[in-house]
Amino acid sequence: MFDISFSGTSVILVAAPELLGDLDQNGIVDFGDDVLLQNLPGTNNPLPNDGGLGVPIGVPHYELSKANFGGPGLNLVPEPSGMGLIAAGALIGRQRLRKVPGVSLKCGENRPFAVKNTHL
């Protein structure tokens, strides 16, 4: 990974710092790194960005990846505006369900989707 900067008529490539736990080198520590670790336990395959842990692949590699999960570029927390949209959608959906005849939001009442076998 490189950071690119432009200065007048020149392009400057600077090696990005090592992102510990980014074992698949895609710029973020994500589920891809977890899958990679699940497929390589106990093997002697050297991994990039392992912080010098070396081989064999084991629990320290998993802990390193877990500690840096998310890293730069992966936003795991929704923005406040997104949370508002989720809340509004939930309220609207709930109101619409209340208007459907035969549907109750209380547990155990009026099961409209239950199939009754009248042929037995």
Q: Please give the sequence-ordered ranges of beta strands (E in DSSP) within 2-114, or none if there are none.
A: 2-7, 10-15
Over the stretch 43-98, which tens digit does the pLDDT of each residue have? 998 999 998 999 999 999 999 998 888 865 555 555 566 677 778 777 777 666 56
Residue with tokens 């670790």, as numbered in its chain: 37
The pLDDT value given to residue 53: 92
The pLDDT value given to residue 14: 73
**Cβ contact 42:29 at 8 Å:** no
**Cβ contact 80:68 at 8 Å:** no
Residue 16 pLDDT grade (very low, low, confident, very high; cuts 50, 70, 90): low
For the chain, give the percent of residues with pLDDT over 70: 62
Task: Give the residue among 72, 48, 74 at the shortest CA–CA distance from 61.
Answer: 48
| Neighbour-count burial of 36, counting CB atoms closer than 10 A to its CB (0-12 exposed, 13-18 middle, 19+ buried) | middle
